[in-house]
Amino acid sequence: MQKRWIIVPIVVLAAVGGLWQISKAKCFQLVGDVVCRVETQRKIVALSFDDGPTPEGVDAILPILAKYDASATFFLIGSRMERFPGSAEKLLAAGHELGNHSYTHQRNLLKPQSFYETEVNRTQALLQTAGSDTRWFRPPFGKRLIGLPLAVERADLLTITWDVEEQPEKFDGNPRAFASDIIARVRPGSIILMHPMYRHNQTARDALPLVLQGLQERGYEVVSVSRLLDAAPD
Ligand SMILES: [Zn+2]
């Protein structure tokens, strides 16, 4: 009897720990499909930007992408789209793709189902109004268990994560090292994640041209998520 009192909390802790790991897994989720990269021999990678839009971020990033003839997918937060009207349209007009990054950018765990549905559908409606018919959803912080993926599936969207993420905590203030670190981890079919929208992320903005230049020197084509998925073999 005594043993059981020890075993029960251990089992509960292990289960909670397991669910925590699953909730942040990049290439696996409990409901619906997730894409974290594609299998291809071709030197092609997708570039994705999360959060925002912010007018300063959009104005800083667009000329850099244009200079390197690169296209990207911008995962936007619905409440930010409302705060900065016209930003999403500007990204589309420049030939880039949009994705859904929830409405309020919270950790989508332990919430009622109606919360997840609102987070997904409200932003999807805003994206459609801006002129985007995107099918891509990215969970804030990559976090999801069952409720959020269910809402994503019901909205006929697909979860897109990433396999190469910037490391600002290691390389803040050093755009060259920041960029080299990303380039070193990229392989054919990768999906890169960067956060250049916010004012305090100057290092990411300064690193962006170096990332694009480095990838081009290595023969990579830098495209949106849709174009990467089109390039993948069936
Ligand atoms: Zn985010």
Write out pLDDT tens, residues 180-197. Answer: 999 999 999 999 999 999
1 CA distance to ligand 1 centroid (A)? 47
184 CA from centroid of ligand 1 (Å): 23
| Distance from Cα 134 to the centre of ligand 1, integer Å | 17
The confidence score (pLDDT) of residue 99 equals: 98
What pLDDT sits at residue 74?
A: 98
Beta-bridged to residue 50, according to DSSP, are 75
Domain boundaries, the chain: 2-231
How many A from CA of 152 to the centre of ligand 1?
Answer: 16
- Residue 219 CA, ligand 1 centroid: distance in Å: 29
The CA–CA distances, whole Å, from 68 to 23, 85, 209, 215 equal: 35, 27, 8, 10
CA of 123 to the centre of ligand 1 (A): 14
DSSP annotation of 24: T
At 157 the pLDDT is: 98
Burial of 100 (0-12, 13-18, 19+ CB in 10 A): buried
pLDDT grade for 13, boundaries at 50, 70 and 90: confident
Task: Give the pLDDT of residue 175.
Answer: 98
| pLDDT at 5 (0 to 100) | 75
Cα of 138 vs centre of ligand 1, distance in Å, is: 8
Q: What does the buried/exposed string (b/e) look like for 11-26 if buried means 16 or more CB atoms within 10 Å of the residue's CB?
A: eeeeeeeeeeeebeeb
With a cut of 70, say whether residue 1 has pLDDT above it: no
Task: Give the pLDDT confidence score for residue 86 in this predicted structure.
Answer: 97
Ligand 1 centroid distance, CA of 141 (Å): 6
**Ligand 1: centre distance to CA 106 (Å):** 9
Mean pLDDT of 109-137: 97
Of the pLDDT bands very low, low, confident and very high (cuts 50, 70, 90), residue 112 is very high
CA of 140 to the centre of ligand 1 (A): 4
pLDDT of res. 2 = 66
Mean pLDDT of 140-153: 95
Burial class (CB in 10 A: 0-12, 13-18, 19+), 9: exposed
The pLDDT of 111-122, averaged and rounded, is: 98
Length in residues, the chain: 234
What residue type is assigned to position 40 of the chain? Answer: T
Q: How far does the centroid of ligand 1 lie from the alpha carbon of residue 196, in Å?
A: 11
Cα of 180 vs centre of ligand 1, distance in Å, is: 23
pLDDT at 81: 98
Dihedrals phi, psi of 115, to nearest 5 degrees: -65, -50
Measured in angstroms, how far is the CA atom of residue 101 from the centroid of ligand 1?
7
State in Å: Cα 72 to ligand 1 middle. Answer: 16
In this predicted structure, the answer to whether residue 117 has a pLDDT above a threshold of 80 is yes
Preceding omega of 53 cis (within 30 degrees of 0):
yes
The answer for residues whose C-beta is within 8 angstroms of residue 90's C-beta and 6 or more apart is 58, 62
Nearest partner of 92 among 109, 115, 74, 79, judged by Cα: 74
Whole-number Å distance, alpha carbon 54 to ligand 1 midpoint, is 13
**What pLDDT was estimated at residue 4?**
73
Average pLDDT of 223-227?
98
pLDDT tens-digit map of 44-72: 999 999 999 999 999 999 999 999 999 99
User: 190 near 46, Cβ under 8 Å?
Assistant: yes
Query: What pLDDT score does 20 carry?
Result: 87
DSSP result, 93-143: HTT-EEEE--SS----SS--HHHHHHHHHHHHHHHHHHT----EE--GGG-
Q: How far is the CA of 111 from the centre of ligand 1 (A)?
A: 18
CATH number of 2-231: 3.20.20.370
**What average pLDDT does this structure show over 209-218?**
98
Q: What is the mean pLDDT of the chain?
A: 95
pLDDT-derived band at 198 (thresholds 50, 70, 90) equals confident
